[in-house]
Structure 1
Amino acid sequence: MQINKKMSEKTNIRIGVSIGDLNGVGLEVVMKTFADERMLDFCTPVLFASNKVIAFGKKQFGIDFTYNGIVHLNSIIDHKINVMNIWRELPPIQLGVPTPESGQCALDSLSAAVAALKEGVVDVLVTAPINKKNIQSESFHFPGHTDYLAQELEGDSLMFMVSDELRVGLLTDHLPLKDVVKNLSQELVEKKIRLMEASLRMDFGVIRPKIAVLGINPHCGDQGVIGNEEEKIIHPVVQKLYKEGILVFGTYSADSFFVSDYKHFDAVIAPYHDQGLIPFKMMSFGKGVNFTAGLSKIRTSPDHGTAYAIADRGIADESSFRQAVYTAIDIFRRRNENEELIANALDVNSLDKGFLSKEKGD
């Protein structure tokens, strides 16, 4: 039997990078991350931007940055920084100011990076921050990356914020608060819990994940006195999945859960955005990663936005973007390890069946 080199041992994982809003801190944190040559020992960055944009960044931020400029993806050199030129001229850059042009450039970069991801030219995608307003267009009418990627990659997704201290997934993500309850359903709750449980096993190596579900109302509704969404929508799903063998518990009151209860679980599901992200960012800001779970391809991003207020000062901290790269690589390797284990198990089963058939024939 021929043994191929394991994908989980791949040392030149290709990282597709969308550059985000050029007027924010995206360019700076991307360049600072990959200016550290040690990063190239285990990955090959492919930045979807242009030589002129990188030249601007080198001058603006004083970053020593050696790269391979390309116009075709088949010219990628492994263990080098590759810049895929998607613009001929330097786009108008006004650091700290959201403009229609910076929104269009963010979409250009994202579209090109996603196309390369779908084609398998890059292994994973790490996205720099966008402005959700100025990126809107006929081809982008989404509240953020997560929903856009779910459409492009044709799958169900879960916005999953992860760090060493805490993992938080959201039942609803970028919705106005007034629309949260009307978008909650038993079907949605079940889908998101199943996505989280599968991701914890496949992407994070948790063998028997324990998941906590937060209530949506104060004190989880106090038995219906101040809301009944927990009793009508969430509890029936939790009970159903627990009977199936999924270790899901709740609901828990969000006002006290993050004092210490979170430590007893592998992940938490929050019904709405700020309920989950406020405690996450208080514990993990600068170290956290936004992971789009549930899709066939891997996408991560830093836990911050465009940060226009500091975009022209050269002081942006690249730690979260670097951690997003590490997380994408870890998940890529873990998924491939799982696929190899399944494939090996199938091979063993086939051999056993063949041996038994031969014995019967004898």
Structure 2
Amino acid sequence: MKEAENIIVGISIGDLNGVGSEIVLKTFEDERILDFCTPVIFASIKVMSFLKNHFKSNINFNSINSLSQVATNKVNVFNVWKEPVKIDFGKEDAKIGEYAIKSLTSATKALKNDDINVLVTAPINKHNIQSEDFNFPGHTDYLAQELEGESLMFMVTDTLRVGLLTDHVPVKDIAEHITPDLIEKKINTVYNALREDFKIVKPKIAVLGINPHTGDNGVIGTEDDAVLRPTLQKIKETGKLVYGPYAADSFFGSNNYKNFDAIIASYHDQGLIPFKTLSFGQGVNYTAGLNKVRTSPDHGTAYEIAGKGEADENSFKEALFTAIHIYKNRVDYKEITSNPLKKSPKTNRR
């Protein structure tokens, strides 16, 4: 593995019929980014050359067939496959889904083997990736199986961080999934991520309720009083600054979220609707709690604009720099905890 000053960033190419390839190309057209990292795109030089021509990109790729051939100051393309691929922008295609998974599994293997330092994933289509060999709702669940740790979907910007108790769970099943054990695991994952990945020494965490108005004393559901409140009280007794449950409908509109280092929502839309409303195009999807660093942009394949040159690369660029930042913070944290006498680097509240 290369040193932290020369971080190798693996990039899974995602759905080739979507905007993923475009935002990857636009990001690395700025050669200054190569001062911060060495990118490795997991795809094929044939595909990337086609995309380069289509989008009139000025990137010069370094085609490699072994990860030992990775070159610094170059945009490397690791050839996961050799055959040509028919790209039809904006179309859902099961065959394209297969190539998205080939890229992802190859990049994940490289991450596990320390051939790359971090992984940034371009958007996939959750429907066309399904097969007998790959049966996961998305990146997060697959990486949770392949990597060590307790995974958590953590949506982050410089000023807002939102984690989820449940992620890709049908609304009708949410309450039965939220158990004291799950609550403790997810809060501990967020707490540790804030300390190790974001250098926040004493994190303040808010938890949103399960039911409207946190149940209104049992009138609109009992889960908040029976499950969430007692579990949060138990966690508080360990010294963690955990508060709630808060009624979700007014929490963001009142700006109360600004008083916390992270917010934990009970389910997907409760957390992601306000997050994306406040930060769309700048947010990053970070899989916290794993032994490796993975980030992605906060949007999907955007078929409606794919191939048109209209995609905004800012969220992907933020995902790239967030991965680099977290990796460096983990290196610092490991050095500090292994050598307690070493002076701690400057910490951040936000």
Deviations 1:63-86 (A, max 9, x none): 111110001111111221100011
Counterpart amino acid of residue 331 in structure 2? N
Which secondary structure does the structure 1 equivalent of 2:38 belong to?
Answer: strand
- Match runs of 1:185-196 below 5 Å: 185-196=179-190
Corresponding pairs, count: 342
Shift of 1:8: 11
Structure 1 runs (4+) greater than 6 angstroms displaced: none
Tell me the residue number matched to 1:268. Answer: 263
Tell me the residue number matched to 1:37. Answer: 31
Shift of 1:115: 0.3
Gaps of 5+ in 2: 344-350
- CA spacing shift, 1:347–1:318, aligned 2, 3 Å: closer
Tell me the residue number matched to 1:352. Answer: none
Counterpart amino acid of residue 208 in structure 1? K
Shift of 1:344: 2.1
- Match runs of 1:1-362 below 5 Å: 10-259=4-253, 260-345=255-340
Over the matched positions of the two proteins, sequence identity in percent amounts to 58
TM-score, L = length of structure 1: 0.92
TM-score, L = length of structure 2: 0.95
**RMSD over aligned Cα, in angstroms?**
1.5
Counterpart amino acid of residue 28 in structure 1? E
- Asked if 2 retains the 8 angstrom alpha-carbon contact of 1:165 and 1:284, the reply is no
Counterpart amino acid of residue 16 in structure 1? G
- Asked if 2 retains the 8 angstrom alpha-carbon contact of 1:8 and 1:337, the reply is no
Give the helix-richer structure, 1 or 2. 1
- Asked if 1 retains the 8 angstrom alpha-carbon contact of 2:4 and 2:331, the reply is no
- Asked if 1 retains the 8 angstrom alpha-carbon contact of 2:2 and 2:8, the reply is no
Gaps of 5+ in 1: 1-6, 349-362
Deviations 1:314-357 (A, max 9, x none): 11000000000000000000000011112222899xxxxxxxxx
Which secondary structure does the structure 2 equivalent of 1:156 belong to?
Answer: strand
Which secondary structure does the structure 2 equivalent of 1:345 belong to?
Answer: coil
Partner Cα separation in structure 2 for residue 206 and residue 138 of structure 1 = 42
* Structure with max Cα Rg: 1
Partner Cα separation in structure 2 for residue 165 and residue 153 of structure 1 = 28
Which secondary structure does the structure 2 equivalent of 1:269 belong to?
Answer: strand
Deviations 1:64-110 (A, max 9, x none): 11110001111111221100011112212110001011100000000
